[in-house]
Structure 1
Amino acid sequence: MAQAGPIVDWFSQHVGAIVASAINILIIIAIALVARAVIGRLITHLINRMVKTEGKISAAASKTRAKVLKSDTSRAERQQQRAETIGTVLKSIASIVILGIAVLTILAEFGINLGPILATAGVLGLAIGFGAQSVVQDFVSGMFMMVEDQYGVGDVVDAGEAVGTVEAVTLRVTKIRDLNGNLWHVRNGEIMRVCNMNQDWSNAVIELPLDYSEDIVRAQDVIQRCIDEFADNPDVSSRLLERPSINGVVGIGNGAVTIRVLATTKPGEQWGLGRELRAHLKQSMDRENVKVAQPILPMSDAGATKSG
């Protein structure tokens, strides 16, 4: 009991400071929780608004793109998933920052000198940042890629050496399956440029090298009837955004007059429709006796010497 006297005296002398510190700590925790909730809601609101605004701008960009966005129900799901991913990452970063500030403030309330702690944390931060530059670059690139909706799962992309279908997208790595079945793991920080081959809409491009002696007017008439018949097929029209059209004569040379046909399709349909349209054109041109050019091979030096 005698030993309890100094302890009781100490508490009686410092009870005011202890209660004040406890209240301050509770206030700090409450402010941190409120700030975390408010910032989380603000991030959710801003991300959803950004995605909706981007969708409206994209829809107004062109009539063709507007048709796709109106008919593509999966795009809304993709935008929602993208918003949730970005929102989760930003909320996590905000929570870590708020928690760190709250902990440091509480330590200061206990009278702990924060100078050495901040100095040590700064050195560790520099060391980790220097050693993980590539990881940070991957995450930053992944964030921008998701915000800008450059590509998503199911898109066919050309990312340099890796060309194929996107199978998975994370903040650090994009997984691409090529035509041979190989799965490429590409770090987002290494992607300097990317070509999305089936985002929003696509074009099937068919070039027909006709014999130089062909009547171009008659040939174009045959081609026009063929592509009109092709577009009238219900199975085909459901995959088209615009009826196929003749782009005109795009090349003359090597014994050929090249006519180009364009068909604007839904995303990812350009390859299948292109193959079907080529087969249909082949049948029509054979039936109407429209001749395809035979390439003129250059004479070899040996043949020229012998004939000379």
Structure 2
Amino acid sequence: MTDLTQRLVYLAVVLAFALVLRVVLVFLIKRSVKALLARGPATQAGADPNLGTRTKMAIARASGLSIERQRQRVTTLGSLLRNVVDVVIAVITLLTVLSIIGIPMGPLLASAGVGGVALGFGAQSLVKDYLSGIFMLSEDQFGVGDLITVGDTKGTVLEVSLRVTKLRDPMGTVWYIRNGEILTLGNISQGFSAVLVDIPVAINEDPENVMAVLGRAVAGMQEDPQWADVLMEEPSVVGVDSMSGGTMVMKIALKTGPNQQWGVMREVRQRAQKALAEAGVRGPILYPSTPQ
């Protein structure tokens, strides 16, 4: 067998091995992605048999976990892994082929090393952005549709890529934030929202009577079909929060799904106002201002 024929055989073996290896790795990645999508999102609380169906659904929503969100995240990571496999196999195969052909690898690797160092210094921020994007996706820090706060910017996530996150703030402005620049992030759409509603009344009203009236006003809200999918717990009257001038402020605690508290707060104020008026509880006492 001549030297040329031997080299051609080696080249064929290397290329065939690289092709088979790529097919196997891509197949494994696709199987893993398919298995993760089939398993779907789950939470420990959702699997607890002691919890009711409504509570399980509320906790699942509050955790920010959904089938669509899981699909987007897993699909993106699967695509990233396939790209990494393609690049690694292509580079190793190219170097092996060049070595078989007889091209000296020493100067080539030295030049590539110097170029890689120079490129690394010039692309530090780009590498940082991509690495941050990978970790954010793998850790499920946020997803499309989430309301998040990044620094002084608050908005809804429109798009998440490995390099840039796109937000739209309440004024309609679209913000492009590099993932490597995100140091502190707050996700309002994960977990739950807990708020306190202020109900001001006259300072000389009986606190226990006011609490009883407010308790009856908000009782059964979690059973109301309008609010059953929003409230995670029954609203509770906390009690007196402060007293100043002619005003005594009562507090009502609410726990809702993430960023779903606004409508419930309006409903609680409306019910409280109606119940207090029917019970004859007076509003804050306004003292006349002292003339200068």
Letter in 1 for 2:57: K
Q: 2:7 aligns with which of 21, 24, 49?
A: 21
| Corresponding residue pairs, total | 286
How far apart are residue 274 of structure 1 and its match?
Answer: 2.0
Give the SS at the match of 2:183: coil
- State percent identity of aligned pairs: 34
CA distance in 1 between partners of 2:21 and 2:243 (Å): 70
2:199 corresponds to 1:213: no
Cα RMSD (Å) of the superposition? 3.3
Distance 1:75 1:191, change over 3 A: same
Paired letter, 1:38: V
* Structure with greater helix percent: 1
Could you tell me which residue of structure 1 aligns to residue 131 of structure 2? 140
Alpha-carbon distance between aligned partners in 1 of 2:287 and 2:10, rounded to the nearest angstrom: 90
List runs of 5+ in structure 1 lacking aligned partners.
1-14
What are the Cα deviations for residues 245-295 of structure 1, in whole angstroms up to 9, with x where unaligned?
A: 23x236334345543323332333222222222222222223323344469
Equivalent position SS for 1:235: coil
Residue number among 215, 218, 229 corresponding to 1:238 in the alignment: 229
Choose which of 171, 178, 197 in structure 1 pairs with 2:169.
Answer: 178
Deviations 1:196-249 (A, max 9, x none): 112243334323344432222111111111112544432222333332223x23
Measure the CA separation in 1 of the matches of 2:263 and 2:123. Answer: 44
Higher RCO, 1 vs 2 (CA within 8 Å, ≥6 residues apart): 2
The CA distance in 1 between the partners of 2:32 and 2:205, in whole Å, is 61
Q: In structure 1, what residue type is equivalent to 2:15?
A: I
1:59, CA displacement in angstroms? 4.5
Q: CA deviation at 1:54?
A: 7.3
User: What are the Cα deviations for residues 59-93 of structure 1, in whole angstroms up to 9, with x where unaligned?
Assistant: 46996984336569981121011101011012101
1:252 aligns with 2:242: yes
Q: Cα–Cα, structure 1 residues 261 and 94, in superposed 2: closer, same or farther, change >3 Å? A: same
User: 1:161 matched to which residue of 2?
Assistant: 152
Q: 1:258 and 1:30, CA in 2 relative to 1: closer, same or farther beyond 3 A?
A: farther
Is the 8 Å Cα contact of residues 67 and 241 (structure 1) preserved in structure 2? no
Aligned equivalents of 1:165, 1:89: Cα separation in 2: 24
Letter in 1 for 2:76: T
SS of aligned partner of 1:234: coil
State the partner residue of 1:10.
none
User: Which amino acid is the alignment partner of residue 235 of structure 2?
Assistant: P
Cα gap change, 1:85/1:286 in structure 2, threshold over 3 Å: closer, same or farther?
Answer: same
Highest Rg: 1 or 2?
1
In structure 1, C-alpha distance between the alignment counterparts of 2:21 and 2:286, rounded to whole Å: 73
**Aligned pair 1:87/2:109, yes or no?**
no
Q: Aligned equivalents of 1:119 and 1:58: distance in 2?
A: 55
Long gaps (5+) in structure 2: none
